[in-house]
Amino acid sequence: MTDTTKPPRRFAEIDPEQCFDMLIGESWVQASSGETFRCFDPYDDEEWGHVPVASADDVAHAVAAARDAFATWSRIPALARSAVLSRWAQLIDENSETLARLQVHENGKTITEMRAVTGSLRQTADYFGHLALGPIGSTIEPFMPNHEAWTVRQPIGVVAAIAPWNNPLGLLSWKLFPALAAGNTIVVKPSEVTPVSTLFLAKLGLEAGLPAGVLNVVTGAGPTGAALVDSPGIDKIAFTGSTSTGAVIAQRAAARFLRTTLELGGKGAQIVFADADLDRATASLVTGITAGTGQACNAGSRLLVHGSVYDEVIDRLRTLIPEVRIGDPLEPTSAIGPLASRPQYEKVTGYLDLAEEEGNELLVGGRRGEQISGVTTGRFVEPTLYATPDSQSRIRREEIFGPVGAVIRFDDEDEAVRIANESPYGLVAGMWTKDVSRAHRAAKRLESGVVWINTWRAFSTNVPFGGVKHSGIGREIGPDALLEYTETKSVWLGLD
């Protein structure tokens, strides 16, 4: 007889006692030590799945497998590499719901957002599959007489790719597909919070025809990532994560002159000028702080509002923000899921406490956990806004990585740009204005890798993304991304 007292499991298709294997060379394996850790669903607090903790030895085997595979993968015709990426894209499409659900289970991102992410995964695989077929160098007429010169772009070698938990599949795809398209091989270290969706993506890669060793996945926490960074067999590190970990990795890479791409933290400024379309601007301000439950490097977590429209904007936000639906991330009607992990919940609620201690004025939100009506489970925080007139306020300066925004009033364009640029970060920034001249002027002056005008969070696989200042080095996606995974070689020919 079935037990009718227990609610059905939300992820009935996954055995919570399953031992997942990691991928080294041609084998799906457990850690050599036998050590495992457990995944955790942030919505119902349940642990599920056992995942191996890769030791330094396991990492060395994965790097050796990638090194062996490089000899052939880097030399096969680009057409063959492109065909594998195309088949992979197709398999991602066919398995998109499984990928989306796995990630919801791991980090509580909403199913609606995940369906969009799996769509863009497919596009990224396809796009870099096509780029692999493009020109790989140029012919140059040198200044020296009786010589010819040309360049070729060659793969770098073994790439170590380290990804965070907030958008593990999307951010990994920005490394995986350009690296493989260019002929590199790769060892991936997903976050310990989100390893299983990555393992499933790798399984699809093998089904698509990736030869053994071209893609390896080692699971574990920070020490596994550190072992990968320190591995003598790698040639490049592609990292997305916090600025503090990025700084450690950059130092270790510098000692060995390793190539790096670093996508780090952010504290995006959304500027609302007096002439903004307030319907569109305020809707965007809300998604800027709520998308991904605010756990997004591209969050618009500083809201700069011109004094002449300040009161109206705040009134509108006080209406719009409570309408954002908080709930089970598996429900398509939920716009906000729980924070992805216990430490992240503690970090974000710590900032709510700090906001009060600092004396910031609470404008809307501020409740957490069971203080939120209808919430009986999960680590939820309401979308919350504080007025932060003090430029030293930590709520205004630090990346919170939760649905919390700092509102700042400004009086003119110069002041808006100065405040936007006062952050050590420089990943994304945006503005709402109908004045085309101002939009061009301010876009040039904002210290940011990406500037959005009358839009927010616009992405396309063929447009580069990346930061300046403490937000990182290098660009992902777009044509520039392929260049990040190749070396230019200049070849000279002396003529008789």
Residues of this chain that interact with ligand NDP (CB under 6 A) are 162-167, 171, 189, 191-193, 221-222, 225-226, 229, 240-242, 245, 248-249, 263-266, 297, 399, 401, 427, 467, 471-472
Q: Which of 106, 192, 263, 399 is catalytic?
A: 263
> Considering 106, 382, 447, 476, which one is annotated as catalytic?
476
In whole angstroms, how far apart are CA 341 and each of 132, 162, 295? Answer: 38, 19, 11
Residue 358 known to be catalytic: no
Shortest distance in whole angstroms from residue 244 CB to ligand NDP: 7
Position with the least CB separation from ligand NDP = 225
Report the alpha-carbon distance of residue 136 to residue 121 in Å, rounded.
Answer: 24
Residues counted in the chain: 496
User: Which of 153/347 has CB closer to ligand NDP?
Assistant: 347
CB of 170 to ligand NDP, least distance (A): 9
476 is annotated as an active-site residue: yes
Q: Using the structure block, give the residue that is written with the tokens 């089970």.
A: 328
Nearer to ligand NDP, 152 or 463 (CB): 463
For ligand NDP, the closer of residues 126 and 476 by Cβ is 476
E-strand ranges in 167-321 read 185-189, 215-217, 236-240, 259-263, 269-272, 302-306
Is the Cβ–Cβ distance between 220 and 188 less than 8 Å? Answer: no
Q: Which is nearer to ligand NDP, 183 or 294 (CB)?
A: 294
Contacts of 6 (CB under 8 A, 6+ apart): none
Q: Taken in order 475, 479, 480, 481, is the CA torsion positive or negative? A: positive
| DSSP letters spanning 327-357 | S-TTSTT-SB---SSHHHHHHHHHHHHHHHH
Minimum separation from the CB atom of position 174 to ligand NDP (A): 8
For 319, residues 6+ apart whose C-beta sits below 8 A from its C-beta are none
Closest separation between CB of residue 194 and ligand NDP, Å?
8
Token representation of residue 149: 């010169």
What is the smallest separation between the CB atom of 11 and ligand NDP, expressed in angstroms? 21
Nearer to ligand NDP, 56 or 149 (CB): 56
Beta carbon of residue 117, minimum distance to ligand NDP (angstroms, whole number): 12
Question: What is the CA angle 400-428-276, rounded to 5?
Answer: 105
**Residue in 106, 189, 192, 297 annotated catalytic:** 297
175 catalytic? Reply is yes
Catalytic residue among 175, 189, 236, 267: 175
Contacts of 232 (CB under 8 A, 6+ apart): none
The token pair at 278 is: 């307030």
> Is residue 19 flagged as an active site residue?
no
Closest CB to ligand NDP among 265 and 402? 265
Return the active site residues. 175, 263, 297, 476
